[in-house]
Amino acid sequence: MSAAETTTAKVPPARRDPLPGAGSGHPGKPGKKRGTGGGAAVPWALLAPCLIVLALVLGYPLVRLVTLSFQKFGQPQLWGFQAAESVGLDNFTDVLGDAEFWHVVVRTVVFAATAVVLTMVLGMVIALLLQRVSGWVKTLINIALVASWGMPIVVAITIFKWMFDSDYGVLNWLLSQLPGVDVTGHNWFIDSTQGLAVIMLLVVWGAVPFVVITLSAGLTQVPKELEEAARLDGAGSWGVFRHVTLPILKPIIVMLATLSVIWDMGVFPQVFVMRGGHPEPEYQLLTTYSYDKAFVVNDYSQGSAIALLTVLLLLGVIAVYMRQMLKIGDVE
């Protein structure tokens, strides 16, 4: 049998005959076009209810916030005695020209940055230690982490208030048992640095479980062969972590750090409830400061302007996060 005869015998005869009703010369395309058109509409149809709810729940408050920040809006406007009037950028000028606002911004940034670093370091250490314990110990620790993670924030605040109470707090009693230490009756909130440190500890305590669980899941994806190869090349534990584990976990770490920045910049109930609903000026963060301006001073315009500036600050953090993720995607 010649090569020509072999080729002719392998050609399927169905290709030479167009399918009935398939169109002129392109038997497969009409069916694909119908499937593509319908497939493009189905996701949008399924997402439409969710998008409508998001637009109502998130879109309207955001639009209202932006509108208020460009108006003069106090109690007379709230009760309808006077009409709200546009003041342009006056609210932003007043806020940005207030020295107290910049003190609050610096305090918020320092608070959030310290809390994020503590959360990430502590979460990484616990996640690495979990890889070296037995299965039942890991299970018990994971149960404790999930329990603390799922605890309502008000309950956690109440526990911390009891732990750091000046008269009945267990922490004062424990520290007083140390040789040469006597902190009986010490009030941790009389000094704002100590008080914010306690509140930061509460924030870190609530955030660490999520970081540990996520990093533990990421550590299971690190190839053991790479770690063994690094050890054979003479790398110690720190070298394996720095040159093998850390690069593989980088996308997860960037995501967790960004989420932690957003959450810690938006801390509100921890400060508000710990200070009995009236945070002192030295305890004010951006969220509580905006709340005070709006609902204590009844200057809703400046409260909205501060909240909008906080949103813009967080959008800057998100932009850095997206840039880092795109860089990681390009490298991969």
241 Cβ partners below 8 Å, 6+ apart? Answer: 128
298 Cβ partners below 8 Å, 6+ apart? Answer: 74, 75, 78
Would you kindly state where each structural domain of the chain is located, as residue ranges? 98-298
Instruction: Give pLDDT, residue 101.
Output: 93
Angle at which helices 192-219 and 153-163 pack, to 10 degrees?
130
**pLDDT tens-digit series, residues 72-124:** 888 888 888 888 888 888 999 999 999 999 999 999 999 999 999 999 999 99
C-beta separation of 176 from 182 below 8 A: yes
Distance separating alpha carbons of residues 53 and 59, to the nearest angstrom: 9
**pLDDT tens-digit series, residues 290-326:** 999 888 888 899 899 999 999 888 888 888 877 777 7
Instruction: Give pLDDT, residue 73.
Output: 87
pTM assigned to the model: 0.80
Distance separating alpha carbons of residues 296 and 210, to the nearest angstrom: 34
Residue 331: which pLDDT band, with cuts at 50, 70 and 90? low
95 Cβ partners below 8 Å, 6+ apart? Answer: 101, 302, 305, 306, 309
Residue 34: which pLDDT band, with cuts at 50, 70 and 90? low
**pLDDT tens-digit series, residues 275-294:** 988 899 999 999 999 999 88
Q: What is the mean pLDDT of residues 145-154?
A: 88
Q: Which fold has domain 98-298?
A: MetI-like fold (1.10.3720)
